[in-house]
Chain A
Amino acid sequence: MEKHVVVIYPHPDDESFGAAGTIAQFRTQGVSVTYLCGTLGEMGRNMGNPPFANRETLPEIRKQELIEACKVLDMELSMLGYRDKTLEYEDRQEVAMHLKSILDEMEPSLVITHYPGYAVHPDHNALGAAAIEAVKLMEPGKRPTVWAQAFSNNFKEALGQPDINNDISDQIDKKIEAIFCHDSQAGGVISQRNKTENNKIDLKAEAQKQMGQEQFYTWDFNS
Protein backbone atom coordinates (compact mmCIF):
# COMPACT_ATOMS: atom_id res chain seq x y z
CA MET A 1 0.00 0.00 0.00
CA GLU A 2 1.13 3.54 -0.71
CA LYS A 3 2.22 5.68 2.21
CA HIS A 4 1.84 9.17 0.81
CA VAL A 5 0.96 10.24 -2.73
CA VAL A 6 2.10 13.58 -4.17
CA VAL A 7 0.35 14.86 -7.30
CA ILE A 8 2.31 17.42 -9.34
CA TYR A 9 0.39 19.21 -12.11
CA PRO A 10 0.53 22.83 -13.24
CA HIS A 11 -3.12 23.94 -13.27
CA PRO A 12 -6.13 24.09 -11.01
CA ASP A 13 -8.40 21.44 -12.63
CA ASP A 14 -5.61 19.11 -13.89
CA GLU A 15 -6.02 17.16 -10.64
CA SER A 16 -9.77 16.77 -11.17
CA PHE A 17 -9.78 15.93 -14.87
CA GLY A 18 -6.59 13.86 -14.68
CA ALA A 19 -6.53 11.95 -11.43
CA ALA A 20 -9.56 12.65 -9.21
CA GLY A 21 -10.74 9.03 -9.31
CA THR A 22 -7.31 7.68 -8.43
CA ILE A 23 -6.91 10.26 -5.67
CA ALA A 24 -10.34 9.38 -4.24
CA GLN A 25 -9.43 5.68 -4.30
CA PHE A 26 -6.24 6.36 -2.36
CA ARG A 27 -8.18 8.43 0.16
CA THR A 28 -10.72 5.66 0.77
CA GLN A 29 -7.74 3.39 1.53
CA GLY A 30 -6.56 5.97 4.08
CA VAL A 31 -3.52 7.01 2.03
CA SER A 32 -2.71 10.72 2.39
CA VAL A 33 -2.50 12.72 -0.82
CA THR A 34 -0.98 16.15 -1.44
CA TYR A 35 -1.45 18.27 -4.54
CA LEU A 36 1.45 20.49 -5.59
CA CYS A 37 -0.29 22.85 -8.00
CA GLY A 38 2.17 24.77 -10.18
CA THR A 39 0.17 27.86 -11.14
CA LEU A 40 -3.23 29.44 -10.68
CA GLY A 41 -4.16 29.03 -14.33
CA GLU A 42 -3.95 32.81 -14.65
CA MET A 43 -3.92 32.66 -18.46
CA GLY A 44 -6.93 30.40 -18.94
CA ARG A 45 -9.26 31.27 -21.82
CA ASN A 46 -12.38 29.87 -20.20
CA MET A 47 -14.07 32.60 -18.19
CA GLY A 48 -17.30 30.71 -17.51
CA ASN A 49 -20.23 30.56 -19.89
CA PRO A 50 -21.60 33.19 -19.84
CA PRO A 51 -18.30 34.73 -18.68
CA PHE A 52 -18.21 35.72 -15.02
CA ALA A 53 -14.41 36.03 -14.72
CA ASN A 54 -11.97 38.34 -16.47
CA ARG A 55 -8.19 38.23 -16.91
CA GLU A 56 -7.64 40.05 -13.60
CA THR A 57 -10.20 38.24 -11.44
CA LEU A 58 -9.52 34.76 -12.86
CA PRO A 59 -6.52 33.85 -10.62
CA GLU A 60 -8.42 34.38 -7.37
CA ILE A 61 -11.52 32.64 -8.72
CA ARG A 62 -9.47 29.63 -9.82
CA LYS A 63 -7.66 29.55 -6.50
CA GLN A 64 -10.99 29.29 -4.67
CA GLU A 65 -12.19 26.61 -7.12
CA LEU A 66 -8.98 24.68 -6.49
CA ILE A 67 -9.39 24.88 -2.73
CA GLU A 68 -12.98 23.59 -3.07
CA ALA A 69 -11.93 20.69 -5.33
CA CYS A 70 -9.19 19.68 -2.88
CA LYS A 71 -11.79 19.71 -0.10
CA VAL A 72 -14.04 17.41 -2.13
CA LEU A 73 -11.10 15.09 -2.79
CA ASP A 74 -9.97 15.41 0.82
CA MET A 75 -6.35 16.11 -0.08
CA GLU A 76 -3.75 18.59 1.09
CA LEU A 77 -2.92 21.47 -1.22
CA SER A 78 0.28 23.38 -1.75
CA MET A 79 0.49 26.11 -4.40
CA LEU A 80 3.90 26.49 -6.01
CA GLY A 81 3.49 30.06 -7.27
CA TYR A 82 4.60 29.80 -10.88
CA ARG A 83 2.75 31.66 -13.59
CA ASP A 84 0.50 29.94 -16.11
CA LYS A 85 2.00 29.35 -19.56
CA THR A 86 5.50 30.35 -18.48
CA LEU A 87 6.76 27.11 -16.88
CA GLU A 88 8.66 25.99 -19.97
CA TYR A 89 10.63 29.25 -19.93
CA GLU A 90 11.75 28.79 -16.32
CA ASP A 91 15.12 27.19 -15.63
CA ARG A 92 14.37 23.44 -15.66
CA GLN A 93 17.01 22.62 -13.07
CA GLU A 94 15.81 25.34 -10.74
CA VAL A 95 12.22 24.04 -10.86
CA ALA A 96 13.50 20.50 -10.34
CA MET A 97 15.49 21.57 -7.28
CA HIS A 98 12.43 23.37 -5.92
CA LEU A 99 10.33 20.22 -6.33
CA LYS A 100 13.08 18.05 -4.90
CA SER A 101 13.26 20.15 -1.73
CA ILE A 102 9.53 19.56 -1.22
CA LEU A 103 9.74 15.83 -2.01
CA ASP A 104 12.74 15.42 0.33
CA GLU A 105 10.56 16.76 3.10
CA MET A 106 7.35 14.89 2.25
CA GLU A 107 9.00 11.55 1.40
CA PRO A 108 6.12 10.32 -0.79
CA SER A 109 5.96 6.72 -1.90
CA LEU A 110 4.31 7.72 -5.20
CA VAL A 111 4.43 10.82 -7.40
CA ILE A 112 1.81 11.43 -10.09
CA THR A 113 2.67 13.92 -12.84
CA HIS A 114 2.38 14.53 -16.59
CA TYR A 115 4.39 12.54 -19.12
CA PRO A 116 6.88 15.04 -20.64
CA GLY A 117 6.37 15.48 -24.36
CA TYR A 118 2.99 13.70 -24.42
CA ALA A 119 0.80 15.91 -22.27
CA VAL A 120 -0.24 18.55 -24.86
CA HIS A 121 0.03 21.77 -22.83
CA PRO A 122 3.57 23.23 -22.60
CA ASP A 123 3.13 23.68 -18.83
CA HIS A 124 2.18 20.00 -18.45
CA ASN A 125 5.26 18.90 -20.37
CA ALA A 126 7.59 21.30 -18.55
CA LEU A 127 6.42 20.56 -15.02
CA GLY A 128 6.28 16.81 -15.72
CA ALA A 129 9.89 16.95 -16.93
CA ALA A 130 10.95 18.94 -13.86
CA ALA A 131 9.15 16.51 -11.53
CA ILE A 132 10.88 13.52 -13.10
CA GLU A 133 14.20 15.36 -12.95
CA ALA A 134 13.56 16.08 -9.25
CA VAL A 135 13.05 12.37 -8.53
CA LYS A 136 16.15 11.49 -10.58
CA LEU A 137 18.17 13.82 -8.38
CA MET A 138 17.20 11.76 -5.33
CA GLU A 139 19.28 8.80 -4.18
CA PRO A 140 18.00 5.68 -6.00
CA GLY A 141 17.02 4.04 -2.70
CA LYS A 142 14.89 7.01 -1.67
CA ARG A 143 13.05 7.61 -4.92
CA PRO A 144 9.27 7.34 -4.98
CA THR A 145 7.55 5.50 -7.80
CA VAL A 146 6.47 7.92 -10.54
CA TRP A 147 3.27 7.58 -12.55
CA ALA A 148 3.30 9.77 -15.66
CA GLN A 149 0.10 10.69 -17.50
CA ALA A 150 -0.02 11.14 -21.28
CA PHE A 151 -2.93 12.27 -23.41
CA SER A 152 -1.57 13.71 -26.66
CA ASN A 153 -3.30 12.36 -29.76
CA ASN A 154 -0.38 10.06 -30.59
CA PHE A 155 0.58 8.86 -27.12
CA LYS A 156 -0.38 5.19 -27.46
CA GLU A 157 1.39 4.76 -30.80
CA ALA A 158 4.50 6.34 -29.32
CA LEU A 159 4.52 4.85 -25.82
CA GLY A 160 2.41 1.70 -26.03
CA GLN A 161 -0.41 0.83 -23.66
CA PRO A 162 -0.11 2.42 -20.19
CA ASP A 163 0.70 -0.13 -17.49
CA ILE A 164 -1.56 1.50 -14.89
CA ASN A 165 -5.23 1.43 -15.95
CA ASN A 166 -7.37 2.51 -13.04
CA ASP A 167 -11.05 1.74 -13.38
CA ILE A 168 -12.44 4.64 -11.40
CA SER A 169 -16.15 4.01 -12.00
CA ASP A 170 -16.67 3.56 -8.23
CA GLN A 171 -15.45 7.16 -7.76
CA ILE A 172 -16.99 8.79 -10.82
CA ASP A 173 -19.47 10.85 -8.78
CA LYS A 174 -16.67 12.23 -6.66
CA LYS A 175 -14.63 12.97 -9.78
CA ILE A 176 -17.48 14.86 -11.38
CA GLU A 177 -18.11 16.77 -8.16
CA ALA A 178 -14.42 17.79 -8.12
CA ILE A 179 -14.49 18.79 -11.79
CA PHE A 180 -17.55 20.95 -11.29
CA CYS A 181 -15.86 22.81 -8.42
CA HIS A 182 -13.94 24.39 -11.31
CA ASP A 183 -16.98 26.33 -12.33
CA SER A 184 -15.08 28.73 -14.61
CA GLN A 185 -13.40 25.90 -16.53
CA ALA A 186 -15.51 22.73 -16.50
CA GLY A 187 -18.01 23.61 -19.22
CA GLY A 188 -15.41 24.93 -21.63
CA VAL A 189 -13.04 22.00 -21.19
CA ILE A 190 -15.65 19.26 -21.51
CA SER A 191 -17.29 20.79 -24.55
CA GLN A 192 -13.93 21.36 -26.25
CA ARG A 193 -13.13 17.67 -25.78
CA ASN A 194 -16.51 16.81 -27.24
CA LYS A 195 -16.09 19.45 -29.98
CA THR A 196 -19.52 20.92 -29.35
CA GLU A 197 -20.78 24.13 -27.87
CA ASN A 198 -21.25 23.68 -24.16
CA ASN A 199 -24.76 25.03 -23.98
CA LYS A 200 -25.87 22.21 -26.26
CA ILE A 201 -24.85 19.16 -24.25
CA ASP A 202 -25.53 17.63 -20.87
CA LEU A 203 -22.12 18.34 -19.34
CA LYS A 204 -22.37 15.83 -16.52
CA ALA A 205 -23.46 13.01 -18.77
CA GLU A 206 -20.65 13.88 -21.17
CA ALA A 207 -18.09 13.96 -18.33
CA GLN A 208 -19.25 10.51 -17.20
CA LYS A 209 -18.84 9.16 -20.71
CA GLN A 210 -15.32 10.57 -21.15
CA MET A 211 -13.90 9.60 -17.80
CA GLY A 212 -14.34 6.04 -16.60
CA GLN A 213 -10.62 5.34 -16.53
CA GLU A 214 -7.39 7.03 -15.48
CA GLN A 215 -4.19 5.81 -17.07
CA PHE A 216 -0.53 6.24 -16.18
CA TYR A 217 2.89 4.97 -17.17
CA THR A 218 5.24 3.86 -14.43
CA TRP A 219 8.44 5.80 -15.11
CA ASP A 220 11.50 3.66 -15.70
CA PHE A 221 14.52 5.37 -14.12
CA ASN A 222 16.91 2.68 -15.31
CA SER A 223 16.59 3.21 -19.04
Chain B
Amino acid sequence: MKPIEINKVQEKLENYVNKDVYVHLETTNGAYASHVNKNAYNVGAYIRNAKVTFKQAKIVGSENVYRVGLKMEMGWIYAEGLTDYTMHEDTKLLLAGHDREGRLMVSLQISETPFNY
Protein backbone atom coordinates (compact mmCIF):
# COMPACT_ATOMS: atom_id res chain seq x y z
CA MET B 1 0.00 0.00 0.00
CA LYS B 2 1.09 3.59 -0.38
CA PRO B 3 0.28 6.80 1.48
CA ILE B 4 -3.15 8.15 0.62
CA GLU B 5 -3.27 10.80 -2.08
CA ILE B 6 -6.56 12.49 -1.36
CA ASN B 7 -7.49 13.49 -4.90
CA LYS B 8 -6.73 10.09 -6.35
CA VAL B 9 -8.70 8.27 -3.66
CA GLN B 10 -11.66 10.65 -4.09
CA GLU B 11 -11.65 9.77 -7.79
CA LYS B 12 -11.57 6.02 -7.03
CA LEU B 13 -14.46 6.39 -4.57
CA GLU B 14 -16.60 8.11 -7.22
CA ASN B 15 -16.32 5.02 -9.41
CA TYR B 16 -18.41 3.02 -6.93
CA VAL B 17 -21.22 5.55 -6.47
CA ASN B 18 -24.73 4.28 -7.30
CA LYS B 19 -23.55 0.72 -7.89
CA ASP B 20 -24.08 -2.51 -5.96
CA VAL B 21 -20.79 -2.91 -4.12
CA TYR B 22 -19.27 -5.20 -1.48
CA VAL B 23 -17.77 -3.54 1.57
CA HIS B 24 -15.20 -4.82 4.05
CA LEU B 25 -14.97 -2.72 7.20
CA GLU B 26 -12.94 -3.56 10.28
CA THR B 27 -11.26 -2.02 13.22
CA THR B 28 -9.15 -3.84 15.78
CA ASN B 29 -6.50 -3.43 18.42
CA GLY B 30 -5.76 -7.13 18.34
CA ALA B 31 -6.51 -10.19 20.42
CA TYR B 32 -3.47 -9.55 22.63
CA ALA B 33 -4.24 -5.96 23.70
CA SER B 34 -5.23 -6.76 27.26
CA HIS B 35 -2.70 -9.61 27.47
CA VAL B 36 0.25 -7.25 27.01
CA ASN B 37 -1.37 -4.35 28.90
CA LYS B 38 -3.85 -5.13 31.62
CA ASN B 39 -5.29 -1.61 31.42
CA ALA B 40 -6.20 -2.06 27.77
CA TYR B 41 -9.42 -3.44 26.34
CA ASN B 42 -9.78 -5.76 23.38
CA VAL B 43 -12.13 -4.07 20.95
CA GLY B 44 -12.84 -4.69 17.33
CA ALA B 45 -15.61 -4.92 14.75
CA TYR B 46 -15.64 -6.59 11.41
CA ILE B 47 -18.00 -6.99 8.49
CA ARG B 48 -17.03 -8.60 5.21
CA ASN B 49 -18.96 -8.58 1.95
CA ALA B 50 -21.82 -6.40 3.11
CA LYS B 51 -23.66 -5.59 -0.12
CA VAL B 52 -24.60 -1.92 -0.21
CA THR B 53 -25.20 1.01 -2.51
CA PHE B 54 -24.05 4.52 -1.65
CA LYS B 55 -24.98 7.68 -3.47
CA GLN B 56 -22.22 9.89 -2.18
CA ALA B 57 -18.63 9.27 -1.05
CA LYS B 58 -16.09 11.64 0.42
CA ILE B 59 -12.57 11.50 1.81
CA VAL B 60 -11.56 14.18 4.31
CA GLY B 61 -8.44 14.76 6.38
CA SER B 62 -4.97 16.18 6.50
CA GLU B 63 -1.43 15.41 7.56
CA ASN B 64 -1.57 11.89 6.17
CA VAL B 65 -4.54 10.70 8.25
CA TYR B 66 -7.92 10.55 6.58
CA ARG B 67 -11.60 9.74 7.10
CA VAL B 68 -13.97 8.32 4.53
CA GLY B 69 -17.78 8.56 4.68
CA LEU B 70 -20.24 6.82 2.39
CA LYS B 71 -23.86 8.06 2.32
CA MET B 72 -26.48 5.40 1.60
CA GLU B 73 -30.19 5.66 1.01
CA MET B 74 -30.85 4.64 4.63
CA GLY B 75 -27.71 5.28 6.60
CA TRP B 76 -23.98 5.80 6.62
CA ILE B 77 -20.69 3.95 6.58
CA TYR B 78 -17.53 5.65 7.75
CA ALA B 79 -13.98 4.87 8.80
CA GLU B 80 -11.34 7.05 10.39
CA GLY B 81 -7.61 6.77 10.87
CA LEU B 82 -6.91 5.77 7.26
CA THR B 83 -3.33 6.28 6.10
CA ASP B 84 -2.67 4.04 3.10
CA TYR B 85 -4.39 2.79 -0.04
CA THR B 86 -3.97 0.47 -2.97
CA MET B 87 -5.99 -0.93 -5.84
CA HIS B 88 -6.07 -4.70 -5.37
CA GLU B 89 -6.42 -6.74 -8.58
CA ASP B 90 -7.09 -3.38 -10.31
CA THR B 91 -10.73 -3.25 -9.20
CA LYS B 92 -10.82 -3.37 -5.41
CA LEU B 93 -10.09 -0.20 -3.45
CA LEU B 94 -8.31 -1.02 -0.18
CA LEU B 95 -7.90 1.70 2.45
CA ALA B 96 -6.18 1.04 5.76
CA GLY B 97 -4.75 2.80 8.78
CA HIS B 98 -1.47 1.46 10.22
CA ASP B 99 0.27 2.28 13.48
CA ARG B 100 3.93 3.28 13.51
CA GLU B 101 4.99 -0.36 13.55
CA GLY B 102 2.96 -1.20 10.50
CA ARG B 103 0.09 -2.92 12.33
CA LEU B 104 -3.32 -2.57 10.80
CA MET B 105 -5.77 -0.65 13.02
CA VAL B 106 -8.66 0.02 10.64
CA SER B 107 -9.61 -0.85 7.10
CA LEU B 108 -12.32 0.04 4.61
CA GLN B 109 -12.42 -1.81 1.30
CA ILE B 110 -14.86 -1.49 -1.59
CA SER B 111 -15.33 -3.77 -4.58
CA GLU B 112 -17.93 -4.52 -7.25
CA THR B 113 -17.21 -8.24 -6.78
CA PRO B 114 -17.14 -10.08 -3.44
CA PHE B 115 -13.95 -10.33 -1.38
CA ASN B 116 -12.60 -13.85 -0.79
CA TYR B 117 -14.21 -15.52 2.18
Q: Do they bind each other?
A: yes
List residues of chain A with CB under 8 Å of any chain B CB.
43, 45-51, 54-57, 59, 83, 85, 120-123, 152-153, 187-188, 191-193, 195, 197-199
CB distance from B96 to the nearest CB of A (A): 7
For B102, give its contact among A55, A152, A188, A195 (CB under 8 Å): A188
**B-side contacts of A83, CB under 8 Å:** 117
Which size class do B's interface residues fall under?
Answer: 20 to 34
Bound complex: CA of A191 vs CA of B36, how far in Å? 11
Q: Is B8 an interface residue, CB under 8 A from the partner?
A: no
Q: What 10 A-B pairs are tightest by C-beta distance, nearest first? A: A49-B102, A51-B102, A45-B103, A121-B31, A56-B88, A45-B104, A120-B35, A45-B30, A49-B101, A47-B102
**A-side contacts of B24, CB under 8 Å:** 55
Q: Is B72 an interface residue, CB under 8 A from the partner?
A: no
Interface contact A50-B31, CB-CB below 8 Å: no
Q: Is B67 an interface residue, CB under 8 A from the partner?
A: no
CB distance from B94 to the nearest CB of A (A): 6
Interface contact A47-B38, CB-CB below 8 Å: no
Chain B residue nearest to A187 (CB atoms) is B101
**B-side contacts of A54, CB under 8 Å:** 1, 86, 88, 94, 96
